[in-house]
Structure 1
Amino acid sequence: MNYDIFNGDADGIISLLQLRLAYPQQSELITGVKRNIDLLNQMCDVINAHDEVTVLDISMQKNQQGLHTVLNKGAKVFYADHHQSGHIPRHTHLAAHIDLDANICTGLIIDKLLAGRYHTWAIAAAYGDNLITVADGLASVAGLSHEQTQQLKDLGTLINYNGYGACVEDLHFHPKALFEQLLHFPDPFLLFDDKASLYYQLKVAFDADFDKALALKPEYVSESVALYRLPAQAWASRISGVFGNHLANSAPDKAHLVLTEQSVDDVMVSLRAPLNNKQGAVAVCSQFATGGGREAAAGINVLPVDAIEALINVTEKYYFS
Structure 2
Amino acid sequence: MHYDIFNGDADGIIALLQLRLANPISSTLITGIKRDIELVERINCQAGDSVTVLDVSMAKNNAALAKVLEHDVPVFYADHHLPGEIPQHPLLDAHIDTDPNMCTGLIVDRLLEGQFHAWAITAAFGDNLIAKATELAEKAGYSQREQSQLCELGTLINYNGYGRAVDELHYHPAELFRTLCQYDSPFAAINDTGSPYYQLKKGYEQDMALAQSITPYWESECLRVFLLPPTSASYRISGVFGNQLANESPQQAHLVLTEMNSGHAYTVSLRAPLSNKQGAGKLCSEFATGGGREGAGGINNLPAEQLDELIGKVANFYQY
Q: TM-score, normalised by structure 2?
A: 0.99
Structure 2 distance, partners of 1:232, 1:269, is: 12
Structure 1 distance, partners of 2:188, 2:302, is: 42
Corresponding residue for 2:30? 30
Corresponding residue for 1:196? 194
Structure 1 distance, partners of 2:191, 2:103, is: 27
Corresponding residue for 1:267? 266
**Structure 1 stretches of at least 4 aligned residues deviating more than 2 Å after TM superposition:** none
Report the 3-state secondary structure (helix = DSSP H, G, I; strand = E; otherwise coil) of the residue aligned with 1:284: helix
What is the aligned counterpart of 2:91 among 90, 93, 99?
Answer: 93
Corresponding residue for 1:316? 315
Amino acid paired to 2:291: G
Corresponding residue for 1:129? 127
In the TM superposition, what whole-angstrom CA distance separates every residue of 1:161-180 from its partner, at most 9, and x where no partner exists? 00000100110000000000
Query: In the TM superposition, what are the counterparts of 1:3-42 in structure 2 within 5 Å?
Result: 3-42=3-42
Q: Report how far residue 49 of structure 1 moved.
A: 1.4
Report the 3-state secondary structure (helix = DSSP H, G, I; strand = E; otherwise coil) of the residue aligned with 2:34: coil
Query: In the TM superposition, what are the counterparts of 1:46-57 in structure 2 within 5 Å?
Result: 46-57=44-55
Structure 1 distance, partners of 2:168, 2:23, is: 31
Corresponding residue for 2:185? 187
Structure 1 distance, partners of 2:290, 2:204, is: 27
Q: Report how far residue 284 of structure 1 moved.
A: 1.3
In the TM superposition, what whole-angstrom CA distance separates every residue of 1:107-163 from its partner, at most 9, and x where no partner exists? 000000000000000000000000000000000000001111110000000000000
Corresponding residue for 1:81? 79
Q: Report how far residue 288 of structure 1 moved.
A: 1.1
Corresponding residue for 1:257? 255
Report the 3-state secondary structure (helix = DSSP H, G, I; strand = E; otherwise coil) of the residue aligned with 1:285: helix
Q: Report how far residue 42 of structure 1 moved.
A: 2.6
Amino acid paired to 2:156: L
In the TM superposition, what whole-angstrom CA distance separates every residue of 1:260-292 from its partner, at most 9, and x where no partner exists? 112121000110000000001112111111111
Structure 2 distance, partners of 1:90, 1:192, is: 42
Q: How many residues align?
A: 319
Gaps of 5+ in 2: none
**Identity between Structure 1 and Structure 2 (%):** 55
What is the aligned counterpart of 2:203 among 202, 205, 214?
Answer: 205
Report the 3-state secondary structure (helix = DSSP H, G, I; strand = E; otherwise coil) of the residue aligned with 1:301: strand
Corresponding residue for 2:167? 169
Structure 1 distance, partners of 2:206, 2:39, is: 31
Q: Report how far residue 12 of structure 1 moved.
A: 0.1
